[in-house]
């Protein structure tokens, strides 16, 4: 992998507005560190998926109790 490809990232966000906000913060941090965001997983040296486990726990709790 070339040095240019290793300084690229792909980020996909699933979940609530808090996840979107957290992803914006991650993007800002990575950009400040010299990373470049790319539109596809195939182009990325770093792949991130931001998901929400709180909603899953809440859903599971409402189903079981």
Per-residue pLDDT reduced to its tens digit, 4-39:
667 999 999 998 888 999 999 999 999 999 999 999
The pLDDT score that the predictor gives to residue 55 is 57
At 6, which helix (H) or strand (E)?
helix 3-6
Q: What pLDDT shows up at residue 40? A: 97
Q: Which residue has the higher pLDDT, 52 or 44?
A: 44
pTM of the predicted model over 0.75: no
Residue 48 has pLDDT above 70, yes or no: yes
pLDDT of residue 52: 82
Q: Which residues contact 35 (CB under 8 A, 6 or more apart)?
A: 7, 8, 9, 46
pLDDT at residue number 16:
85
């Amino acid at each position: 992998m070339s040095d240019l490809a290793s300084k690229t990232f792909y980020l996909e966000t699933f979940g609530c507005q808090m996840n979107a906000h957290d992803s914006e913060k991650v993007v800002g941090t990575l950009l400040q560190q010299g990373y470049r965001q790319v539109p596809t997983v195939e182009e990325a040296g770093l792949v991130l998926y931001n998901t929400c486990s709180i909603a899953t726990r809440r859903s599971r709790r409402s189903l079981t109790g």
